[in-house]
């Protein structure tokens, strides 16, 4: 009897070790993905930004040096196309790496994100109640919280037909509690597709040993819990 209990304990310990190893691997993958995103964003900004600037400068010089209407028209078209490229790259950069995280506290970066994702002219109210201390916070945890908010607000705006989207975040000594809710039509949980983004949120949260749940009750509510142990991992 005693040996059976001991064997069960050993198996449980081995299982826990494997779970921890898988969690660390998942977290390493999240870190690697974000580093890659950051590097690609920086390269795009430097290379494409400089090239677009050169194209616009040359088009401007052509416009000053000629009075021929066909040439002027072509130069203006080149300048307009260069601006479109710049705007398109700017949008891609924002998805790859949120520049606001480089300069702002997480709460301010998420406030800026909500203003960006919820157009003012669409009569949708965005509400942010953020009570999570940014300092100290592991950079991977910070970007994970940002990505969850990014995906959650995007889903609520695109799929929820809501007039109010709300983010609430608080923490205690052990957990961060993040809720993204809306007052829209709700979604059919059985019909969620990979494009909805829940799988990506689940994988990120699982990497930190957290939990995700999605409920539909007078709208949609995404609940996320993350352990605060990761707040100071970087400094250890």
**Secondary structure string (H, E, C) spanning 135-191:** CCCCHHHHHHHHHHHHHHHHHHHHHCCCCEEEEEEEECCCEEEEEEEECCCCCCHHH
CA distance 163 to 84: 31
Please name the residue ranges forming H helices in 66-127: 69-96, 100-103, 106-117
Task: Please check whether residue 200 is in contact with residue 222, taking contact to mean a CB–CB distance below 8 angstroms.
Answer: no
Question: Which is it for strands 125-131 and 220-227: parallel, antiparallel or unpaired?
Answer: unpaired
| pLDDT at residue 236 in the model | 44
Q: Which two tokens stand for residue 75?
A: 């130069």
Q: pTM of this prediction?
A: 0.71
Q: Where are the domains of the chain?
A: 2-96, 100-235
> Yes or no: is domain 100-235 CATH 1.10.3210.10?
no
DSSP string, 45-68: HHHHHHHHHHHHHHHHHHHHH---
**Exposed/middle/buried for 87, CB within 10 Å: 0-12, 13-18, 19+?**
exposed
| pLDDT at residue 59 in the model | 92
Of 133, 148, 143, the C-alpha closest to 178 is 148
Task: Please check whether residue 199 is in contact with residue 168, taking contact to mean a CB–CB distance below 8 angstroms.
Answer: no
pLDDT in tens, the chain (236 residues): 567 777 777 777 777 776 666 666 666 677 777 777 777 877 887 788 888 889 999 999 999 998 899 999 999 999 999 989 888 887 888 778 788 888 889 999 999 999 988 887 678 999 999 999 887 788 888 888 999 999 899 888 887 788 999 999 999 888 999 999 999 887 766 666 555 567 778 888 888 889 999 888 788 999 999 988 644 444 44
| pLDDT at residue 229 in the model | 64
Task: Please check whether residue 201 is in contact with residue 152, taking contact to mean a CB–CB distance below 8 angstroms.
Answer: yes
């Amino acid at each position: 009897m005693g040996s059976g209990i001991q064997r069960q304990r050993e198996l449980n310990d081995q299982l826990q070790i494997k779970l921890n190893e898988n969690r660390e691997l998942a977290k390493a993958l999240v870190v690697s993905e974000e580093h890659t995103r950051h590097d690609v964003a920086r390269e795009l900004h430097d290379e494409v930004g400089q090239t677009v600037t050169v194209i616009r400068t040359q088009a401007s010089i052509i416009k000053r040096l000629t009075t021929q209407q066909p040439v002027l028209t072509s130069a203006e078209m080149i300048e307009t196309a260069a601006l479109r490229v710049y705007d398109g790259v700017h949008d891609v950069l924002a998805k790859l790496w949120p520049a606001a995280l480089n300069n702002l506290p997480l709460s301010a970066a998420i406030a800026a994100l909500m203003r960006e994702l919820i157009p003012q002219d669409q009569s949708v109210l965005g509400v942010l109640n953020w009570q999570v201390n940014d300092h100290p916070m592991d950079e991977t945890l910070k970007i994970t919280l940002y990505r969850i908010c990014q995906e959650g607000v995007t889903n609520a705006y695109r799929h929820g037909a809501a007039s109010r989207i709300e983010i609430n975040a608080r923490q205690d000594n052990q957990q961060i509690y993040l809720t993204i809710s809306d007052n829209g039509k709700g979604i059919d949980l059985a019909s969620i597709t990979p494009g909805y983004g829940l799988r990506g949120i689940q994988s990120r949260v699982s990497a930190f040993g957290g939990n995700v749940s999605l409920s539909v009750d007078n709208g949609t509510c995404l609940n996320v819990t993350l352990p605060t142990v990761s707040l100071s991992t970087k400094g250890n």
